Structure 1
C-alpha cells in the first residue's frame, strides 16, 4: 500500500485486530512452544478448528458459541498436572502475550493526538473481548513513547477509545456493517462518512464503503515489510 493522505473530515478510525495489528494466535504460549506437553495435541486441534470448521468459528465470533463450548470439541486431553479449565484460562491469559505492530500503533497514537477517536473493530471471540477489557484496566509497565517493532497487548489496549467485538455485536462486520457500527456512530453523533476502517479483508472494506464509510485494506505482512505504509499524512 503506498503512502497516502487520510481523507479530510475523518473523526474516528476503526481498526481491525488479527491480520492488521497482530498475527499472533490464541494459545500462543502453547502453540509456539514445541516443548509444551500439549503443543502437538493443541496444534493439531487448532488447525482442524480454524481450517475445517470455519462455520463453527464464525458462530463463535458471532457470540452464538462460547469458548467453553469450543474447547469441549477439541478433544485435547491434558494430563493431571493441568487444572480442568487450563485451556479456557490460557485462551484469555495468552492474549496478553500477543505482540502488536509498533509502527501502526504509533500512527494511531498520533491520530488520537490529532483529535481522531480510535476504536478497535474486530470479528473476534468472547475470550478475546474478556482479555482486551481486562487489559484496558491495567497500567502499562512503561508509558514512554518510542517507535519499536512491536508493542505489548496491555499498552495497545490503552489506545482504544472503545471496543467493538463481533461476539458482543452478534454479527460480523461483512454481514451487516449497519448493525455492527451504527449504534456506536449514533451515540457519538457521527455518520459513516466521518469514519475510516483499516482492515485486512477486502470483503470487510467493501461492506464498510457500501454503507458510506472510507476503508483502506491494510495487512500485517505489508506493514512489517514496508513500515512506511503507516506514515499516513493528516489533512487538516
Structure 2
C-alpha cells in the first residue's frame, strides 16, 4: 500500500493575518467611477469643460469640499459661474453620476461578507465629498453591506490629517470606539502618499494598484491557513 504523506500546517509566521477591522478606500480602490463620468463618452465636450474648470481654476475648492467646509451645491455653483454652464445641467448630471457609481468587481460583496463571517469588520474609509454620504452610499446601499463608513467631509479631516495633540482627525474616534491596538486594523488604498502617516496611527497599510489591485489584496488577507505536504 502506498504510504500517505503527512500534512501539517505551515508556521504561524507564514499564515494570513486576521484583522479586527479592514478599512478600504473608495476612489481608485473600491470604485473607479468619476463625477460626471457617464458624460465622458456621451457628451465629452461638457465633461471636459466641467473637469477642466474644477481641476483647473477651481482646484483650490477640492480640499475644502472634502473637509466638509463646502457643500456640493457651493462647488457646482462656482463651476456654473466660471464655465458659464447652467447650474441645473451640472447638478443633475453630477447627481446622476453619484447615484450610478460602480464597484471595481462583482466579487466585492461576497468578499466583504466573508470577512464579516470570520469576525472582521469592513469599513469604507474615504477622503470624499458630502455627495458620497448624501447620495452614493445611500443609492448603492453601502450602509447595509459595510460595518461603517468614514468620510472626510463628515469628519472634517482627511485620512492623513492630525489634530493639535498629534492624533488622527479621521481615525481616532473610531479607533477608540473599537478599542483597536496597533496592528489590529489595515487600510487598503491605492494612494502612495499617506503610508507612513497611517502606519503611525497604528494601522497597517496595503498599497494597491488602482482599480485592479483590490480583489487580490482582499483574497490574500482572507487566505486560509495553508497546508504543506511533507
1:98 is aligned, of 92, 101, 107, to 101
2:26 is aligned, of 17, 24, 40, to 17
Indicate the residue corresponding to 1:47 in structure 2. Answer: 52
Contact 2:124 2:146 in 1 (8 A): yes
1:205 is aligned, of 190, 195, 199, to 195
1:196 is aligned, of 178, 186, 189, to 186
Deviations 1:69-95 (A, max 9, x none): 11112135557xxxx545334433422
2:128 is aligned, of 124, 128, 133, to 124
Deviations 1:119-166 (A, max 9, x none): 11000001111014423xxxxxxxxxxxxxxxxx44x55321111100
Which consecutive unaligned segments of at least 5 residues does structure 2 have? Answer: 1-13, 226-230
Contact 1:28 1:97 in 2 (8 A): no
Distance in 2 (CA, whole Å) between partners of 1:171 and 1:71 is 21
The answer as to 2:38 corresponding to 1:29 is yes
Aligned pairs, number: 204
Contact 1:24 1:98 in 2 (8 A): yes
Offset at residue 24 of structure 1 (A) = 0.9
TM-score by length of 2: 0.76
Pair 54,206 (structure 1): closer, same or farther in 2 beyond 3 Å: farther
The correspondence of residues 1-236 of structure 1 with structure 2, limited to 5 A, is 6-8=16-18, 10-34=19-43, 39-50=44-55, 53-75=58-80, 76-77=83-84, 85-102=88-105, 103-135=107-139, 153-154=140-141, 157-176=143-162, 178-223=168-213, 228-232=216-220, 233-234=222-223
Distance in 2 (CA, whole Å) between partners of 1:160 and 1:51 is 34
Offset at residue 217 of structure 1 (A) = 0.5
Indicate the residue corresponding to 1:149 in structure 2. Answer: none
Q: Displaced runs of 4+ in structure 1, greater than 4 A?
A: 76-79
Which consecutive unaligned segments of at least 5 residues does structure 1 have? Answer: 136-152
Deviations 1:36-66 (A, max 9, x none): xxx5234222233135543321111011111
Deviations 1:201-229 (A, max 9, x none): 122232211111111001334338xx544
Indicate the residue corresponding to 2:11 in structure 1. Answer: none
DSSP 3-state at the match of 1:207: helix
Contact 1:62 1:168 in 2 (8 A): yes
Contact 1:21 1:101 in 2 (8 A): yes
Pair 191,131 (structure 1): closer, same or farther in 2 beyond 3 Å: farther
Contact 2:161 2:168 in 1 (8 A): no
Distance in 2 (CA, whole Å) between partners of 1:205 and 1:108 is 23
Pair 12,229 (structure 1): closer, same or farther in 2 beyond 3 Å: closer
